[in-house]
Amino acid sequence: MQYKNRAWKKRIFGVFLCLALAGTSAFPGLAEETLAAAVQPTYYGRGSYVIGVDMPAGEYAFFTEDTSGDNTYSYCNLTLYKDDTDERRIAVLRFQHHGLVSLYNGQHLVLHDGWAVAADQADIEPGVSGMYKAGRDMEPGTYRLTALTSEGGSYALYNDVRYYYDYIDAYGRFIDPVVITVEEGQYLELTDVRDVERIE
């Protein structure tokens, strides 16, 4: 499968769409669904956010800022704290291309680089590096993974992405191709993977 994430393109397209629809009040006959189409996802860039104040709680996709053709193996980085006192750090996370995180009211997110959007609006397509939810971003099933280089790749399966506790179901590093099964609702994280082939 090839990675073809279009979320960053939608971010740019959203600006033009909003400008184009700014004049719709001059045409009251336009259908309501046309106006609904103007509602674009909200994107969050580098910065500090209190969840529930600066951005709503929910599951988010975090992407690298690199929009070049070689961005598959670039990273985004963030730190998540229990609250805005920053006394209890929940996790320091580094995702290859993109990752998924559930955020809860009161938490403090520091996005060091990259950008975020609500996961159900992220337009994630099956690919290699990154994190995917089976049943939404990819089909559940059995897959053969091939490492990017002779140094190997890795995968992890999670049943949750809230990062409070250990929600990992499986983890593996591999050099030779490996076969894994991803169940409905599980999250699959891939690092340094060259090819993902669904075999059943």
Residue 47 covered by a domain: yes
Q: What is the distance between the alpha carbons of residues 156 and 152, in angstroms, rounded to a whole number?
A: 14
| Residue type at position 198 | R
Q: Is the pLDDT of residue 3 over 70?
A: no
Q: Is the pLDDT of residue 16 over 50?
A: no
Q: What is the number of structural domains in the chain?
A: 1
Element (H, E) at 195: strand 193-198
Backbone angles phi, psi at 71, to 5 degrees: -80, -5
What's the pLDDT at 70? 66
Question: Which tokens sit at 142?
Answer: 């059995």
Q: What is the distance between the alpha carbons of residues 6 and 14, in angstroms, rounded to a whole number?
A: 12
Q: Is the pLDDT of residue 32 over 70?
A: no
Residue 2 covered by a domain: no
Which pTM does this prediction carry? Answer: 0.79
Q: Is the pLDDT of residue 33 over 80?
A: no
Residue 114 covered by a domain: yes
Partnered with residue 30 across adjacent β-strands are none
What's the pLDDT at 54? 98
Our measurement of the distance from residue 49's CA atom to the centroid of its chain's CA atoms, rounded to an integer in Å, reads 17
Residue 37 covered by a domain: yes
Q: Is the pLDDT of residue 62 over 80?
A: yes
What's the pLDDT at 64? 93
- Residue range 178-188: mean pLDDT, rounded: 97
What's the pLDDT at 19? 31
Q: Is the pLDDT of residue 84 over 90?
A: yes
What's the pLDDT at 69? 66
Residue 1 covered by a domain: no
What's the pLDDT at 66? 84
Residue 32 covered by a domain: yes
Domain that holds residue 182: 7-198
DSSP string, 153-171: EEEEEES----SS--EEEE
* Percent of the chain topping pLDDT 90: 68
Q: Which residue has the tokens 């909200």?
A: 42
Beta strands of 18-107 (E only): which ranges?
Answer: 47-50, 58-63, 75-81, 89-96, 98-103
Confidence at 2, pLDDT banded by 50, 70, 90: very low
Q: Is the pLDDT of residue 73 over 50?
A: yes
Q: What is the distance between the alpha carbons of residues 14 and 8, in angstroms, rounded to a whole number?
A: 10
Residue 55 covered by a domain: yes
- Residue range 83-110: mean pLDDT, rounded: 95
Residue 189 covered by a domain: yes
Q: Is the pLDDT of residue 63 over 90?
A: yes
